[in-house]
A and B are shown apart, each in its own frame.
Chain A
Amino acid sequence: MATPPESVPVPPVPGRPARVRGPAQDVAGLGIGRAVGFLAPALLLIGAFLVFPAIWTIYIGITNYRLTGVEAVSPSIVGLSNYTRALNDALFHNALWLTLLFVLGSAIIGQNILGFALAWTMRRARPAVRRTVEALVLLAWILPSTVVAYLWIAFFDRDTGTLNSILGTQGTAWLIDYPMVCLVLFNTWRGTAFSMMLYSSALQAVPPSQLESARMVGASGWQTLRDIVFPHIRGHVLTNTLLISLWTANDFSPFLLTKGGPNHESETVPVYIYNVALQGGELGYSSAISFLLLIANLLVALLYLRLLRRRS
């Protein structure tokens, strides 16, 4: 249950793997015995509530375990049939496709570009402007997800919603007619703060002298970005994109806005897992899908750590 993306007020992503090899010197005289004792409670809790569930998913995923009925009492092993079923499950394909759209629209494009634009423009804005804008963007990020869901339900409301008032389109039920567009907008709004902060501190690494000389030779804004800024922050763009994609793909808050509806039109993989497991009661099948999600997360995280390591 690490870093639930629906509530990440401080990015709990420990970077700096360089520190992994930091100097260890037992100056207080703790000793290996007591050090292991210090580690034990944390490792026990992590083992019980994080590692064990992750491994157990594999087992539940090869059974026909159900929430109710005969299979709830005595589930039997069905081999890989849950996985072959997933291959032919149109609703699962639908969930995969929607998750892809969600990640592409709100993370890779939305949060990335808006976050960079904010970091780039706020760099030279007046301190008062900068503080106000950053506070708003951060506020969107730290508010509890249930509250944020209501903000957007009110914003998109058919009869009195703010969006309809602004556009003069009273009677448009955005969440029903265009659920994925709504989710992409919502998640862009919700998550841009992380990219903004990451790019803000990445931009500080761009030598001002290079920007200055670009201005002297009359480079356009776009040329400066492409030839001077981008080479410096390429690594950050990659790692940022990987992280926000991982979080977005695992985000449960679409459930709070649309519950996956109408008629599965916004049912991303996390919502699909919930609906199959707790609405449909098919714990075995949903575990198989959870395991696929875990594998996808693992691949992205391994790639992320590799990139970080190469950079340092």
Chain B
Amino acid sequence: MTPAFVVRRIGFYTVICAITLFFAVPMLWIASAPFDASPGLGVRWPDWTLENFRKTLSHPYALHSMVNSLLICITTAVAVTAFAALASYALSRVRIPGRDALLYGLLLLSSVVTGTAAMVPIFVMMFQLGLIDSRFGVALVMTGGLLPAAIFILKDFVDAVPKSYEESARVFGASTLQILRDVVLPVARPGLATILVWAFVNSWGNFLVPFLLIRSIDKQPGAVLLQTFTDEGGSANLSVIPVFSLLFSIPVVVLYLLVNSRYGFRFHGGIKS
């Protein structure tokens, strides 16, 4: 071990420590403030209590907004998965005229028409359709937005399913619907689960769409409600915000861990995996 080597090692670990701290320190607040008897915006060893949880759960809209989030996100996730599954199977197995152009178009759409670029026309459209302040309307907009990418990710999964399974089922005289139900669906299950979770997590964290489209407080999902917690004086309600932030993050983290441990993290980037 030369001195230069030791210096380089020390430098290496200093850099790693600095990067780790950069990512960890902002998160400390959500780990300490929810359990602190007098929660503030600072980070300190908490004066342990569960009083904040009691206050949050008895907040008139807190639990209600979680239910709203669940309603919106389950609707979105189920619709995205079902429609993307049908579409990706058709696109993977049948040479529909114009298929390649359609796929290229979907690929473009999935990155070009973002929420911020389309917020004005979507707001105007939903306003004129009378779908402002409707949780179903929010789920519809989110479904439309997530579908192109979902179709693409799922088509990758379906493309990877060997056609020989379907062929042999056909040789044994299974009907088309039987093949889809008993052969394709079970084999594609990891892909479907991934898309279900992906769509759920995406809509769970979506702030812009419900923020634009929902007016009344009793219909707001958690992502929007969290922005509006204030106490009687009008300043941020610090006994509710940290607890709610923590509770609101749990489903996302749990689902992520679940998919990760069950199916492994598949990287759907613009890269060959």
Which residues from chain A sit less than 8 Å from chain B, CB to CB?
1-17, 19-22, 24-32, 34-36, 38-39, 41-43, 45-46, 48-54, 56-57, 60, 65, 114, 117-118, 121, 125, 129, 132-133, 136-140, 142-147, 150-155, 157, 159-162, 165-166, 189, 194, 197-198, 201-202, 236, 239-240, 243, 246, 250-253, 256, 269-270, 273-274, 277-278, 283, 286-287, 290, 293-294, 297-298, 301-302, 304-305, 308, 312
Whether B144 and A24, one on each chain, are in contact in the complex, defined by CB atoms closer than 8 angstroms, is: no
Measured CB to CB, the closest approach of chain A to B46, in angstroms, equals 14
Docked CA distance A250–B249 (Å)? 23
Q: Can you list, as one digit per residue, whether each of B218-243 has a CB less than 8 Å from chain A (1) or not (0)?
A: 00001110110000000000000110
Q: Which one, A1, A60, A150, A152, contacts B145 given CB within 8 A?
A: A1
Whether A144 and B204, one on each chain, are in contact in the complex, defined by CB atoms closer than 8 angstroms, is: yes
Docked CA distance A273–B119 (Å)? 9
Any A CB within 8 A of the CB of B52:
no
Docked CA distance A286–B120 (Å)? 7
Whether B120 and A142, one on each chain, are in contact in the complex, defined by CB atoms closer than 8 angstroms, is: no
Measured CB to CB, the closest approach of chain A to B98, in angstroms, equals 11
Whether A24 and B94, one on each chain, are in contact in the complex, defined by CB atoms closer than 8 angstroms, is: yes
Whether A12 and B202, one on each chain, are in contact in the complex, defined by CB atoms closer than 8 angstroms, is: yes
Whether A162 and B25, one on each chain, are in contact in the complex, defined by CB atoms closer than 8 angstroms, is: yes
Q: How many A-B residue pairs have CB under 8 A?
A: 400
30 A-B pairs, CB-CB below 8 angstroms? A1-B118, A1-B122, A1-B141, A3-B110, A4-B114, A13-B110, A19-B156, A21-B100, A24-B93, A26-B94, A28-B183, A32-B97, A45-B140, A49-B141, A50-B144, A53-B118, A57-B117, A147-B30, A150-B30, A150-B226, A151-B26, A154-B26, A154-B41, A165-B43, A252-B116, A283-B124, A297-B114, A304-B270, A305-B104, A312-B272
Any A CB within 8 A of the CB of B1:
no
Interfacial chain A residues near B12, Cβ < 8 Å: 121
Docked CA distance A294–B117 (Å)? 6
Whether B163 and A25, one on each chain, are in contact in the complex, defined by CB atoms closer than 8 angstroms, is: yes
Whether B272 and A16, one on each chain, are in contact in the complex, defined by CB atoms closer than 8 angstroms, is: yes
Docked CA distance A143–B251 (Å)? 10
Whether B248 and A144, one on each chain, are in contact in the complex, defined by CB atoms closer than 8 angstroms, is: yes
Q: Which one, A8, A13, A60, A146, contacts B226 given CB within 8 A?
A: A146
Q: Which one, B109, B121, B241, contacts A60 given CB within 8 A?
A: B121
| Interface of chain B residues 151 through 186 with chain A (CB within 8 A) | 151-153, 155-156, 159, 163, 166-167, 169-170, 176, 179-180, 183-184
Q: Can you list, as one digit per residue, whether each of B89-115 has a CB less than 8 Å from chain A (1) or not (0)?
A: 111111111011001101111111111
Any A CB within 8 A of the CB of B134:
no
Whether A252 and B270, one on each chain, are in contact in the complex, defined by CB atoms closer than 8 angstroms, is: no
| Interface of chain B residues 242 through 273 with chain A (CB within 8 A) | 242, 245, 248-249, 252-253, 256, 267-273
Whether B146 and A236, one on each chain, are in contact in the complex, defined by CB atoms closer than 8 angstroms, is: no
Whether A133 and B20, one on each chain, are in contact in the complex, defined by CB atoms closer than 8 angstroms, is: yes
Whether A28 and B179, one on each chain, are in contact in the complex, defined by CB atoms closer than 8 angstroms, is: yes
Interfacial chain B residues near A151, Cβ < 8 Å: 26-27, 29-30, 245
Any A CB within 8 A of the CB of B40:
yes
Whether B180 and A28, one on each chain, are in contact in the complex, defined by CB atoms closer than 8 angstroms, is: yes
Q: A1-B141, A42-B86 are in contact. Are A118 and B147 (CB under 8 A)?
A: no
Whether A12 and B144, one on each chain, are in contact in the complex, defined by CB atoms closer than 8 angstroms, is: no
Measured CB to CB, the closest approach of chain B to A158, in angstroms, equals 9
Q: Which one, B91, B142, B152, B207, contacts A39 given CB within 8 A?
A: B91
Docked CA distance A143–B252 (Å)? 7
Whether B86 and A38, one on each chain, are in contact in the complex, defined by CB atoms closer than 8 angstroms, is: yes
Identify the closest chain B residue to A1 (Cβ): B145
Interfacial chain B residues near A24, Cβ < 8 Å: 92-95, 99
Whether A20 and B100, one on each chain, are in contact in the complex, defined by CB atoms closer than 8 angstroms, is: yes
Whether B109 and A50, one on each chain, are in contact in the complex, defined by CB atoms closer than 8 angstroms, is: yes
Interfacial chain B residues near A165, Cβ < 8 Å: 42-43
Known pairs A1-B118, A54-B112, A136-B23; list 18 more (Cβ under 8 Å): A2-B112, A7-B204, A7-B207, A9-B205, A12-B198, A15-B272, A24-B99, A28-B176, A39-B90, A46-B106, A49-B122, A49-B145, A60-B121, A114-B19, A129-B16, A140-B26, A294-B117, A304-B270
Whether B253 and A136, one on each chain, are in contact in the complex, defined by CB atoms closer than 8 angstroms, is: no
Q: Which one, B15, B120, B141, contacts A287 given CB within 8 A?
A: B120
Docked CA distance A34–B175 (Å)? 14
Q: A16-B156, A256-B207 are in contact. Are A38 and B115 (CB under 8 A)?
A: no
Docked CA distance A65–B22 (Å)? 46
Measured CB to CB, the closest approach of chain B to A137, in angstroms, equals 6
Any A CB within 8 A of the CB of B68:
no
Whether A159 and B41, one on each chain, are in contact in the complex, defined by CB atoms closer than 8 angstroms, is: yes
Q: A121-B15, A144-B249 are in contact. Are A160 and B40 (CB under 8 A)?
A: yes
Any A CB within 8 A of the CB of B149:
yes
Q: Which one, A25, A236, A298, contacts B112 given CB within 8 A?
A: A298
Whether B125 and A9, one on each chain, are in contact in the complex, defined by CB atoms closer than 8 angstroms, is: no
Any A CB within 8 A of the CB of B67:
no
Any A CB within 8 A of the CB of B78:
no
Interfacial chain A residues near B136, Cβ < 8 Å: none
Interfacial chain A residues near B207, Cβ < 8 Å: 6-7, 144-146, 252-253, 256
